[in-house]
Structure 1
Amino acid sequence: MNEDKTSGWRSNGSATNIQKKPEGVPANVPVWSSTRYCLAYMAFFGFFNVYALRVNLSVAIVSMANTTDDGHKYSDECPSASANKTSKPGEFNWTSSEKGLILGAFFYGYICTQVLGGYLASRYGGKWLFGCGILCTTLFTLLTPIAARTSFALLIATRVIEGLGEGVTFPAMHAMWGVWVPPLERSRLVSLGYAGCHFGTFIAQPISGILCASDFLGGWPSVFYLFGSVALVWCVMWTILIHNRPRDHPRISSAELEYIESQVSQERTSMSDIPWKDILTSVPLWGIVCAHFANNWGFYTLLTCLPMYLKYVLRFDMTQNGLISALPYFVMWASINVSGFVADLLRERGILNTTQTRKLFNTVGLLGPAVFLIAAGYTGCDNMQTVAFICIATMFNGCTFSGYNSNHIDIASRYAGILMGITNTVATIPGFVSPLVVQKLTGENETRAAWRIVFFIAAGVYVVGAILFSLMASGEEQDWNRPRYERLSTKDESVNRGPATNRNKNNSSSANCSSSDDENPLPTVA
């Protein structure tokens, strides 16, 4: 495969501005204070809220449920870390199966709006879709205490609706990355934005644990009131500061606008333009699907079930539960940002091309957690060593954001939202399956041996995902991402518009410029 090819579109209808290979940021283009970085900052805080709203129930449910009636038994393998403390009785007599259903209900809604969200964001822009998705989740989070005290069915419905709202967030944001982020900044900006997920988890878990153990606003209800209120403030700021496309932004500099539009396609997508057959039969896309599914299996297992593991097996009290279980996400937040910077540096300096970079970082990001999750099951009752291994696992896992998670934009920036919707639909299945698997394995058998099985399953899924991505993935822009009538010669870079010019005469306002992101003539990793 020839990695040293260049493709692209004309920018703003210019007859002379033809995009060449991606280069570094021009000296006159702002970086940290730029509008594209402002988008990344606001995306960071947006996903901070997304995961704070998602994870708070994982901690709160431990205080909400009456543990004497939930079917769980504390393991007697490890000594209690708070032998002289007694926890407040829970308000609801939920069984272990009912708690698993509550935690999984979110994902039944979440899985339904992925592809639709990707299409709507690609067609109309991601600003309002992303903001309204988080607003929907916020409002129903604030209603969660009322729903829980009204009926079990209403609580389930509330969680499903929250999932429907959050389901559009990742596809919408990926669609925005597709029009805002130049090729050689993709790893760092996408990583910066999505790192908010794990920083939100890091902040939400300990604070949720503290609030649940307090009497503030009734204890556990305060978790939903606090994070819901914070998310409302973010929604207002997002509406004011963010715009769908660079050309729509009133505060963008002319230098930054030219830089972005000379590198990134700005064409809107209609349903008739979407090459569904090519997308669904794309081998690189299915490589992303495999990696995304594998990553989410391990991540969702930890996200929804780690608090229970800490409580019933390692015997932490409520406050410690939130604090200790949050540490892996702080490590992952740092790892995501560092790996994103390193990945783009390797590409910019010509050390690795995009295909090699994505495969390397994805392999490290999936095999590392596989090893250390298994190791965590053999630490006995050494709480600190267990947490340390889980932290190391999440540190490696952060590399996947420069692997599969940025790869949608590499292969098809025009359809990045749709591609994310497809892969995240499949990858959401672990969100409601893995808690049920954990419940079946450990529900009435809270032992280290039972949890070792959970860790082995997650490790196996990680390994399979890493192998399949390495075999199937590519960092090259796919041919079906480029309109046939705007494709340029990849050999002599000469313009060959032909009769297609007539079809494009009404498209002069579109800033459309892209390139193969395998910018270095290095051999593709097999």
Structure 2
Amino acid sequence: MMENPTRDDIPEDNMDVPRWKFWKRRRYIVTLMALLGFFNVFALRVNVSVAIVAMTSTSSRTLENGTVVEGVSYPSMHDVWAHWAPPMERSRLATFAYSGSYIGTVVVMPISGVLAQNVGWPAVFYVFGVVGLVWFAAWWVLVKRGPQYDRHIDPRELKYLQDALPVVPKNVVHPWKKFFASGPVWAVIVANFSENWGFYTLLTQLPIFMKDTLEFDIQEAGFLSALPYVVVSATMQVAGHIADWFLSRKILNTTQVRKLFCCGAFLCQSLFMLLAAFLLTPAGAVTCLTLAVGLGAFAMAGFFVNHLDIAPQHASVLLGIGNTFGTMPGIISPTITGYIVQHKTTSEWQIVFFISSAIYLVGSIFYGIFASGEVQSWAKTQQSDEAIKRSSLDGHSNKALET
């Protein structure tokens, strides 16, 4: 096994099983369970928002949502991908799983409303709490840390994954100084910040803009609130498959795919932010909102899986760092908007959208210059250490398959 295999070195999946029979491939089971997990995480987040309306109709209560728990979910899942997602399938597996967060938002919002209205607000927590426990039990039984520990995996899939993926040591020493001295790491951080700035601005400020300047209340058409989530759920599937198609067909290398998808999406989103500032009609504003959020899925097929390319064994930590910077726009953007929009005029709102458009543009340029799809030198392990670890893991694999 090479430390940093090229595209020509990466093996093909030689299982003679149709891909639609996903249950025959354990990595697809892991991906489906991940989607259901993110579905449930965001379901728990949404049901708090819905249930608190019913709760506060009779009394005043304050709840803390599951933001802390949600925050560790993404980095933890990146550690799973380091063991289960082959390079040629990394984009589609990750985007499919992460789309569960948007699907959960769309599906659970009306269900929680029905439960709160007809059964009572406690039912919202009981139902999705039980669903979460069932998912946890299934995850505990079905998903293992790596394919070598899964006794139900087909030997051909096991060999394919072991040949395609670098060995991830159990006790990883993270080179913190090299993290922050790495251009590709900062490229991912800046991209995360840029995408979230636009995301929070679009989802929180654009509806207010339409109400203030267009006298259009988006809440009157409830489905419009969920429309961006529906679109991004669908486009995430398309984006991941297209990205992996470019790689599997050897049309582009990993670096080129990541830059094309991230930079291309940011440039288009920058354009739609500008259009939102000038299209002073409800239809135009909603169209810009929907397209801009949907295109974010293509950006995620670029930068959001890039940690696994540049440093597989450090991917979970790097995502945690990136998400830390990525949460800042949720605080900064509304604050800046509040300072700018004093009189609710069109010109004030245009400044807000100009800022978001500029941040997308800067993010695109920065990522285009510094991003990489190759394993970084500081993330490579010594060949001798890999051989030892591979031998050890193969021993565990044989024992697991024998049992």
TM-score (norm 2): 0.84
Q: Paired residue for 1:348? A: 248
Q: Tell me, what secondary structure is at the counterpart of 1:289?
A: helix
Q: What residue number does 1:234 align with?
A: 135
Question: Is the 2:202–2:289 Cα contact (8 Å) retained in structure 1?
Answer: no
- Give 1:196's aligned amino acid: G
1:478 corresponds, among 373, 376, 384, to: 376
What's the CA shift string for 1:301-342, capped at 9, x where partnerless? 334556656666654375623x21111121111111111111
Contact 1:53 1:227 in 2 (8 A): yes
The answer for the alignment partner of 1:140 in structure 2 is none
Q: SS at the partner of 1:358?
A: helix
Aligned counterpart, 2:401: none
1:43 — aligned with what?
Answer: 34
Quick one: which amino acid aligns to residue 185 of structure 2? L
Distance 1:181 1:505, change over 3 A: closer
Q: Which of residues 265, 271, 277 in structure 2 aligns to 1:377?
A: 277
Does structure 1 residue 197 correspond to structure 2 residue 97? no
1:26 alignment partner AA: N
> 1:388 aligns to what?
287
Partner SS for 1:24: coil
Which residue identity is paired with 2:99?
Answer: A
Q: 1:234 to 1:480 in 2, by over 3 A?
A: same
Paired position in structure 1 for 2:400: none
- Pick closer, same or farther for the CA change 1:205–1:456 going to 2, 3 Å: farther
CA distance in 2, matches of 1:59, 1:305: 20
Q: Which position in structure 2 is the counterpart of 1:22? A: 10
**Number of the residue aligned with 2:69:** 165
Q: Which runs of 5+ in 1 are unaligned?
A: 1-5, 11-18, 66-89, 93-147, 487-496, 513-526
Residue 304 (structure 2) pairs with residue 405 (structure 1)? yes
Residue of structure 2 in register with 1:463 after alignment? 361
Amino acid at match of 2:392: S
2:399 is matched with: none
What amino acid is the match of 1:53? L
Residues 96-132 of structure 1: CA deviation (Å, up to 9, x unaligned): xxxxxxxxxxxxxxxxxxxxxxxxxxxxxxxxxxxxx
Aligned partner of residue 305 in structure 2, secondary structure = helix
Q: Which residue of 2 aligns with 1:149?
A: 60
Q: For the Cα contact (< 8 Å) 1:279–1:285, is it kept in 2?
A: yes
What corresponds to 1:492 in structure 2? none
Q: CA RMSD in A?
A: 3.4
Q: Within 5 Å, which residues of 2 pair with 1:28-67?
A: 28=16, 31=19, 32-33=22-23, 34-55=25-46
Residue aligning to 1:141: none
User: Residues of 2 paired with 1:49 and 1:185: CA distance?
Assistant: 24
Structure with greater helix percent: 2
Rounded to whole Å, the distance in 2 between the matches of 1:431 and 1:227 is 26
Query: Is 1:215 aligned to residue 114 of structure 2?
Result: no
Q: CA deviation at 1:344?
A: 0.9
Does residue 187 (structure 1) correspond to residue 70 (structure 2)? The answer is no
Quote the sequence identity (%).
Answer: 37
Q: Measured at CA, do residues 193 and 225 of structure 1 come closer, stay the same or move farther in structure 2, by a change above 3 Å?
A: same
Amino acid paired to 1:252: I
- Larger relative contact order, structure 1 or 2 (CA cutoff 8 Å, min sep 6): 1
Query: How far apart are residue 466 of structure 1 and its match?
Result: 0.9
Q: Distance in 2 between matches of 1:474 and 1:431?
A: 27
Matches of 2:186 and 2:199 in 1, distance apart? 20
Indicate conservation of the 8 Å contact 1:359/1:470, yes or no: yes
Secondary structure (helix, strand or coil) at the match of 2:393 reads coil
Listed as ranges, the gaps of 5+ residues in structure 2 are 396-403
Q: Secondary structure at the match of 2:9?
A: coil
Q: Which amino acid aligns with 1:430?
A: P
What is the aligned residue count?
391
> Match for residue 247 of structure 1?
148
1:206/1:319 contact within 8 Å kept: no
Q: Contact conserved, 1:191 with 1:336, CA < 8 A, in 2?
A: yes
Contact 1:264 1:511 in 2 (8 A): no
Once residues 342 and 174 of structure 1 are traced to their aligned partners in structure 2, the CA distance between those partners, rounded to angstroms, is 21
Q: Encode CA deviations 1:125-181: one digit per residue, 9 max, x unaligned.
A: xxxxxxxxxxxxxxxxxxxxxxx834x5xx3xx24xx22211211100001001111
TM-aligned CA deviation for residue 239 of structure 1: 2.4
Are 1:297 and 2:201 an aligned pair? no
Partner SS for 1:403: helix
Shift of 1:433: 2.5
Query: Is it true that 1:414 corresponds to 2:325 in the alignment?
Result: no
Aligned partner of 1:245: which letter? G
Q: What secondary structure sits across from 1:184 in the alignment?
A: coil
Residues 370-419 of structure 1: CA distance to partner in whole angstroms, max 9, x if unpaired?
21123123332x33332222111122211012211111001111111111
> Are the counterparts in 2 of residues 307 and 325 from structure 1 also a CA contact under 8 Å?
no
TM-score by length of 1: 0.66
Deviation digits for residues 51-83 of structure 1, max 9, x if unmatched? 33334566777x579xxxxxxxxxxxxxxxxxx
